[in-house]
């Protein structure tokens, strides 16, 4: 595809459900719900909310949590073919996720090279799980994102590239605002409609491939 680059979310986009939410529902005390609601309403920053949610969980539960999420996470239909498509078309594909390394890396193993994955990191050495933020906001972002998708987009892309963002949630909204085109579902789809962002909806990654094909045809027309 003509000079395009794809920035794709992980939780709720590549996977059918949000893995952080799944972990909290299974293992966290009830306080996590208020933190989640604060993040979704944008009253609490993603970095603060997610950090505090994981602080509710004991590091001693690491093996149980990892086993649970790796057995329950479901990759969205068509993703393997989508990855193959991007390689055949020589479209750079980056996974930019507010998810955590202990489930993002193993779920993408054999599909996406680690150097194309940007996510947060978990530290299990203390009594409670501590999240590290290797991809924090640059000087132009004040949203305290945690994994700052706009900052990563500025780092990975240039003005001559068509930036395509694929996502589903409030955590993808700032990235979507920088995109030339958004492929969205769920809350991000609602926001794309509300803000009049150029977009198409998707359910499976076969839909995503169809959208990419139509975009390419528009360029060639």
Structural domain of 188 = 4-220
Task: Decide: residue 56, CB within 10 A, 0-12 exposed, 13-18 middle, 19+ buried.
Answer: middle
Rounded Cα distance, 86 and 105, in Å: 19
* Residue 175 confidence (pLDDT): 95
CB 115 within 8 A of CB 28: no
**In sequence order, what are the beta bridge partners of 7?**
94, 165
Residues of the chain under the 50 pLDDT cut: none
* Residue 14 confidence (pLDDT): 98
pLDDT digits (tens, 9 = 90+) for 95-110: 999 999 999 999 999 9
CA 104 to chain centre: 10
Rounded Cα distance, 212 and 137, in Å: 29
What's the pTM value of the predicted model, to 2 decimals? 0.93
CATH value at residue 59: 3.90.1470.20
* Residue 2 confidence (pLDDT): 59
> How many separate domains does the chain show?
1
* Residue 171 confidence (pLDDT): 84
């Amino acid at each position: 595809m003509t000079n395009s680059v794809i920035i794709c979310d992980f939780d709720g986009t590549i996977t059918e459900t949000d893995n952080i939410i799944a972990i909290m529902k299974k293992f966290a005390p009830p306080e996590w719900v208020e933190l989640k609601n604060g993040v979704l309403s944008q009253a609490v920053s993603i970095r603060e909310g997610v950090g505090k949610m994981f602080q509710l969980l004991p590091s001693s539960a690491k093996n149980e949590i990892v086993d649970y999420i790796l057995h329950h996470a479901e990759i969205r239909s068509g993703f393997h073919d989508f990855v193959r498509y991007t390689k055949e078309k020589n479209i750079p594909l980056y996974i930019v996720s507010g998810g955590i390394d202990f489930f993002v890396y193993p779920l993408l193993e054999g599909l996406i090279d680690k150097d194309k994955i940007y996510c947060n990191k978990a530290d299990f050495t203390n009594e409670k799980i501590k999240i590290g933020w290797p991809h924090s906001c640059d000087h132009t972002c004040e949203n305290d994102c945690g994994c700052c998708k706009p900052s990563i987009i500025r780092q990975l892309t240039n003005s001559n590239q068509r930036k395509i963002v694929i996502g589903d949630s409030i955590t993808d909204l700032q990235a979507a605002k920088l995109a030339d085109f958004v492929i969205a579902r769920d809350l991000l789809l609602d926001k794309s409609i509300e803000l009049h962002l150029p977009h198409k909806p998707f359910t499976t990654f076969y839909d995503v491939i169809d959208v990419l094909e139509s975009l390419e045809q528009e360029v060639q027309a």
